[in-house]
Structure formats: structure tokens, C-alpha cells
Structure 1
């Protein structure tokens, strides 16, 4: 998984804390974590294309969540950044090498592929069960002052 997923999830948290009334410029999101704005903008644009964030034009423009944080799963964010393709792609390499032509060695579906797909399905189910709002609540319990401090930082730097 790319760094863009981590960046996008953090951006979603900050946009959730900023609230639906405040648009946050990508330059401020990038400055908050000392990230390159041009690359972060690509991640945020992916969130916009996926309907997770929306762009607000104008001098007080920027980005905000396009829907409530309770309706944005971590799987939504991962899919927006990484795409919907499976993480594992079986290339059927078992049909190559010394046993490739041996019908006794290459029978039925690839068991490696099946194991990887089961693991990915479990991973995707877990990501789908977690929302940005739930993650925000977890952060608030673990570090109670962070959401308010982030909200103040963004409102004083827009």
C-alpha cells in the first residue's frame, strides 16, 4: 500500500475535525504534516473523484468531506487511492518451471491464490467496518486534545 493511503486517511480525519462549514486548502493539509503539497493534492483529488471529499472554489476555498465521516469507511479511502483491483494477482507461475507441464502437479485452482484471496477478503471486511468517524473517536479517546488543537490550527491558518 502506498504512502498516499496514510496521507489520505489523515486528511479525512482533519477534514472531519475541521467540520462541514470550513474548507481546508491542500497547502494547509500538506503543511500540517510537512508533506509535499503537489503530491498530496493528487491524493485529495482521488478522494474528490471517489465522492469522499469535495472541492470548494474561491479565496476561502479548499476541501471538505463530501459526506458525513460516519459514511466513509477506511476501505472507501483505500479504494480511492489504490484502486479497486485486488492486492494479490495470481500469475499462475506454478504452470512454469520443472513441474509446469506435469498434470499431477498443476491440478485445480491455485491454493496460494485462494489463501491470498481469503486473507484479502478479511482485510477488506475489516476496513469496510471501520469509518473515519470511528477512527476519529478512537483518536479523541487516546489523545483528547488533538481534534480541538487541529481544528484551531486549521482555522487560524486558512
Structure 2
């Protein structure tokens, strides 16, 4: 998984602490963690295409959540950034090994591929069970000053 997922997830989380109607520009989000703005913008645009974020141009423009945090799962973010492909790709090397046969779909019959698919499904279920609202609640419980500190940092970076 690329680091872009981390950047996208943290950006979504930070956007939960904005006042209603506020948006944050790419440059501000990038400066928040010292990330390259052009590369972060590509990830933010992927989130817009997935319906996770919305964007607007103009003096009050920028990014904000397009859906309620309860409606955005970690899996939504991963898929928006990484796509739908499974984590493990079976290249059917058994076909080239001893006893390999051209008429067998080893992606379906290979025990290793089956185990990897099962693990991938469990991972996806776990990600789908965690919303940005869940993460937000945990952060706020463990670090109660985070929402205000985030808003203050956004304000300082805009200045």
C-alpha cells in the first residue's frame, strides 16, 4: 500500500474538525505535514472522484468532506487511492512448475492464493467496519486537544 493512503486518511480526518462550510486548500493540507502539494493534490482529486471529498475554487475554496464522517470508511479511502485490486496477485507460477497444466486456473485452485484471498477479504472487512467518525472519536478521546489544535494550525498556515 502506498503512503498516499496515509496522507489521504489523515487529510480526511483533519477535515472532520473544520467548522461547517469551511474548506482547506491543498497547500494548507500539504503544509500541515510537510507533504509535496502537487502529489497530495492528486490524492485529494482521487478522493473527490470517489465522492469522499468535494472541492471548490475561489477565495473560500478548497476541500471538505462530501459525506458525513460516519459514511466514509477506511476501505473507501483505500479503494479511492489504490483501486479495487486485491493485495495479492496470483501469477499462476504453478502452471510453470512440475506437474503444471495449461487447463487449470491456479488462481482458483492454488491453496496459497486461496489463503491470501481469505486474508485480503478479512482485511477489507475490517477496513469497511471503521469509519472516519470512529477514528475521529478515538482520537478525540485519547487526545482531546486535537480538534482545536488542528483548526489553529490550519488558521496559521492560511495566514
> What is the rounded CA distance, in whole Å, between the counterparts of 1:65 and 1:20 in structure 2?
10
Q: Paired residue for 2:43?
A: 43
> What is the rounded CA distance, in whole Å, between the counterparts of 1:20 and 1:77 in structure 2?
22
TM normalised by structure 2 equals: 0.91
Q: Paired residue for 2:145?
A: 145
Q: Paired residue for 1:13?
A: 13
Aligned to 2:55, the other structure's residue is in SS state strand
> What is the rounded CA distance, in whole Å, between the counterparts of 1:43 and 1:134 in structure 2?
22
Q: Paired residue for 2:110?
A: 110
TM normalised by structure 1 equals: 0.92
State whether residues 12 and 65 of structure 1, in contact with CA within 8 Å, keep that contact through their aligned partners in structure 2. yes
Q: CA RMSD in A?
A: 1.8
Return 5+ residue gaps in structure 2 as ranges: none
State whether residues 4 and 40 of structure 1, in contact with CA within 8 Å, keep that contact through their aligned partners in structure 2. yes
Aligned to 1:63, the other structure's residue is in SS state strand
Return 5+ residue gaps in structure 1 as ranges: none
Structure 1 residue 151: deviation in Å? 1.4
State whether residues 18 and 154 of structure 1, in contact with CA within 8 Å, keep that contact through their aligned partners in structure 2. no
Q: Paired residue for 2:132?
A: 132
